[in-house]
Structure 1
Amino acid sequence: MNARNALIALMMALGLTLAGCSDNDNQGPAEETGEQIDESMEEKGDEIEEATDEMGDEIDKMGDEVDEENNY
């Protein structure tokens, strides 16, 4: 009987493992909200990166102008 119980336990564990790994497109509301938050954060991060790049370019231009005025 011990072998039979072990086999039943193994089959149940395998079934639960496969059920937990199913890849269905039916997401719950929490997962959908999480994905929306991730996308928003990524978009905002890209916008911030672009803005800092533009500010860096402007600072470089201002530095060049100061150098020209001081005849460097």
Structure 2
Amino acid sequence: MRKSILVLATAFTLTAFFTSCRDTKKESDNMEMSDDMDDMDDVGDDLEDAVDDTGDAIENAANETGDAVENAANEVEAEVEGTDDM
């Protein structure tokens, strides 16, 4: 019984020691927020650019896929008709 009370007292003491030593700086946090607002505009612009680039890449990939399918269909048709170069 004595050991469990000592263990609980030690745990409480350590908990109180580590939680009471926190530094709070609310004034500096407000200044960082105002500086970060300019960065948020840049992030928004970068995000829009990334979305545009992704859309262009998807469109190009779709066009290339369509061309490859069309070429493959033409080759199969030529093979079936017997006009293939090979």
Q: Shorter-chain-normalised TM-score: which range?
A: 0.5 to 0.7
CA distance in 2, matches of 1:65, 1:37: 42
Structure 2 counterpart of 1:29: 41
Unaligned runs of 5+ in 2: 1-16
Aligned residues: 57
- Structure number with bigger Rg: 2
- CA deviation string 1:5-54 (max 9, x = no partner): xx3xx4248x7xx98xx9xxx66221111110110111011101111110
Identical-residue share of aligned pairs (%)? 7
The RMSD of aligned alpha carbons is 3.2
Secondary structure of 1:11's counterpart equals coil
Secondary structure of 2:53's counterpart equals helix
Runs of 4+ in 1 over 3 A off after TM superposition: none
Structure 2 counterpart of 1:42: 54
> Higher RCO, 1 or 2 (CA under 8 Å, sep at least 6)?
2
CA distance in 2, matches of 1:49, 1:11: 53
